[in-house]
Amino acid sequence: MVRVFINGYGNIGRRLAAVLSSDKEVQFIGIAKYTADDKTKDAMDNGFDIYVPDGMVNQFKEKGYDITGVISQAIGGSDLVVDAAKEGGGYDNKKKLYEPMNKAAIFQGGEDRHGERSVADMIHNSRVNYAKAAGKAYVIQGSCNVSGMGRIMQPLIENFGDGIRRYDVTLIRRWADLEDSKDVKDSIEWDKNPHHQDDVRDFIPASNLYVDAYKVPSRMMHLHQMVVRFNGKAPSKDQIIETFRNEFGVAILNSARGTAAIRKKAMDLGFRHGDTNMVHIHQEVLRVQDDTIKISYSDDQTGMVIPENHLLMQSMILDRPRDEAIKRTDRIFQMTKKRRILEEEFK
Ligand SMILES: NC(=O)c1ccc[n+]([C@@H]2O[C@H](COP(=O)([O-])OP(=O)(O)OC[C@H]3O[C@@H](n4cnc5c(N)ncnc54)[C@H](OP(=O)(O)O)[C@@H]3O)[C@@H](O)[C@H]2O)c1
């Protein structure tokens, strides 16, 4: 049994807690809360042990919340911390807690890979470098956009390799998650220097990749348009679709009107948290012309990285072969089944 603590209980942390607390291979230590708000009640209702910063126990107790102890104590009793802090917070946690206590940690995609606040020397993408994480003490799980790009690029590389000349990807990013209370601004904003390009190059270094990123006023999902240029004539549409036919975590849809249709369908179908946990290639807008293919796929931002964290845990701590890990993750997340359902719904 691996003893796991989740440090943070936001959009990602609460999803991680839901899955890891029900995994029989995990002894679930609990979650950290930093603000005594009603999300604490949500964690209590889910039966999680709640740990808070030193000196804050009374503040939580005064509001009627049951607190098991302080965060440092929970980390002391864990083998692995899954850090789910807001972007950038993982670095301070590493310096203050994980390194001094000699604890392994998974960080999320909002943390830095390079520079002064770098938290780890690799970014994990289960489709590309799963095995490289085995035995590592610190690894970043790539963000939802970065995970999605890896999931599409790697099968293309394995099938068409040297034939590919360059990738130009436009990330159309949702403004906020459905659960976020912040307003969605009526604006389209661009990113001067999207981190996604360097992050993908971290695990696919040879890729000739150019990324632009825009945020749009939506809460539903990201949409990526990937333009792939080949040295000669591009493969046919059928060849591209066949490349993804049996890819774990990739659905091929043909009649979704937009990202909201998929999200709402996932909620109507009772998928946990309304997550599909995958990317969805939109076959009806997959275009091939001369030396170029254009693939558009939507990317379930909140759901994508949860099975990725689960896979990463199996590599880092359990040193399990990838095929076995995928089977286990699929049993827990039911992704193959969800894919079949979505493909039938949007055929
Ligand atoms: N949302 C997404 O779609 C998405 C997708 C992929 C990756 N990510 C990455 O996942 C990470 C978390 O994102 P999120 O969307 O879950 O953020 P979020 O909803 O804003 O939640 C952040 C959480 O951090 C907690 N927190 C505050 N101080 C902390 C500390 N020192 N250590 C640990 N946790 C602390 C907060 O707790 P309190 O509420 O108790 O103050 C809050 O629950 C980021 O790196 C993000 O880039 C997010």
Strand 209-216 vs strand 164-174: parallel, antiparallel, or unpaired?
Answer: parallel
How far is the centre of ligand 1, averaged over its atoms, from the C-alpha of 180 (Å)? 11
**Is the C-beta atom of 236 inside 6 A of ligand 1?**
no
pLDDT tens per residue across span 23-46: 999 999 999 999 999 999 999 999
Sequence-distant (≥ 6) Cβ neighbours of residue 133 within 8 angstroms? 122, 124, 139, 312, 315, 316
Q: What phi and psi values does residue 103 have, to the nearest 5 degrees?
A: -115, 140
Confidence band for 237, pLDDT divided at 50, 70 and 90: very high
How far is the centre of ligand 1, averaged over its atoms, from the C-alpha of 107 (Å)? 11
**Is the C-beta atom of 9 inside 6 A of ligand 1?**
yes
Helix (H) or strand (E) holding 242: helix 237-244
| Alpha-carbon span 45 to 21, nearest angstrom | 13
| Ligand 1 pocket, mutate which of 6, 7, 9, 12 (most atoms under 8 A from CB) | 12
Mean pLDDT of 309-316: 98
Looking at ligand 1, which atom is closest to the CA of residue 39?
Answer: 39
Confidence band for 301, pLDDT divided at 50, 70 and 90: very high
Which pair of structure tokens corresponds to residue 37?
Answer: 């708000």
Sequence-distant (≥ 6) Cβ neighbours of residue 112 within 8 angstroms? 88, 91, 118, 119
Residue carrying the six token digits 């085995």: 134
Mean pLDDT of 112-129: 97
Helix (H) or strand (E) holding 289: strand 287-289
Mean pLDDT of 126-133: 98
Looking at ligand 1, which atom is closest to the CA of residue 40?
Answer: 40
Confidence band for 213, pLDDT divided at 50, 70 and 90: very high
Q: Over the range 302-323, which residues count as b (16 or more CB within 10 Å of their CB) and which as e?
A: bbbbbbbbbbbbbbbbeebeee
pLDDT tens per residue across span 6-29: 999 999 999 999 999 999 999 999
Q: Judge contact between 185 and 175, C-beta under 8 A.
A: yes
How far is the centre of ligand 1, averaged over its atoms, from the C-alpha of 12 (Å)? 6
Confidence band for 154, pLDDT divided at 50, 70 and 90: very high
**Is the C-beta atom of 93 inside 6 A of ligand 1?**
yes
Measured N-to-C along each axis, helices 237-244 and 144-160 cross at an angle, to the nearest 10 degrees, of 120
**Is the C-beta atom of 109 inside 6 A of ligand 1?**
yes
Mean pLDDT of 79-91: 97
**Is the C-beta atom of 163 inside 6 A of ligand 1?**
no
pLDDT tens per residue across span 267-298: 999 999 999 999 999 999 999 999 999 999 99
| Alpha-carbon span 101 to 122, nearest angstrom | 21
Task: Tell me the pTM.
Answer: 0.98
| Alpha-carbon span 160 to 14, nearest angstrom | 39
How high is the pLDDT of residue 186? 97
How far is the centre of ligand 1, averaged over its atoms, from the C-alpha of 84 (Å)? 5
Q: What is the DSSP string of 141-209?
A: EP-HHHHHHHHHHHHHHHHHGGGEEEEEEEEEEESS-TT--SPPPSS-EE-SS-HHHHHHHHHSTT--E
Q: What percent of the chain has pLDDT over 70?
A: 100
**Is the C-beta atom of 8 inside 6 A of ligand 1?**
yes
How high is the pLDDT of residue 223? 98
**Is the C-beta atom of 42 inside 6 A of ligand 1?**
no
Confidence band for 262, pLDDT divided at 50, 70 and 90: very high
| CB atoms inside a 10 Å sphere around CB 163 | 17
Give me the half-sphere count of Cα atoms (radius 13 Å) on the Cβ side of residue 255. Answer: 7
How far is the centre of ligand 1, averaged over its atoms, from the C-alpha of 18 (Å)? 15
pLDDT tens per residue across span 158-194: 999 999 999 999 999 999 999 999 999 999 999 999 9
Average pLDDT of the chain, as a whole number: 97
**Is the C-beta atom of 309 inside 6 A of ligand 1?**
no
Q: What percent of the chain has pLDDT over 90?
A: 99
| Ligand 1 pocket, mutate which of 14, 33, 34, 199 (most atoms under 8 A from CB) | 34
Confidence band for 115, pLDDT divided at 50, 70 and 90: very high
pLDDT tens per residue across span 47-58: 999 999 999 999
Confidence band for 323, pLDDT divided at 50, 70 and 90: very high
How far is the centre of ligand 1, averaged over its atoms, from the C-alpha of 9 (Å)? 7
How high is the pLDDT of residue 52? 98
Strands annotated E in 8-160: 26-32, 50-52, 69-70, 80-83, 104-107, 123-124, 138-141
**Is the C-beta atom of 259 inside 6 A of ligand 1?**
no
Looking at ligand 1, which atom is closest to the CA of residue 13?
Answer: 16
Mean pLDDT of 203-218: 97
Looking at ligand 1, which atom is closest to the CA of residue 14?
Answer: 16
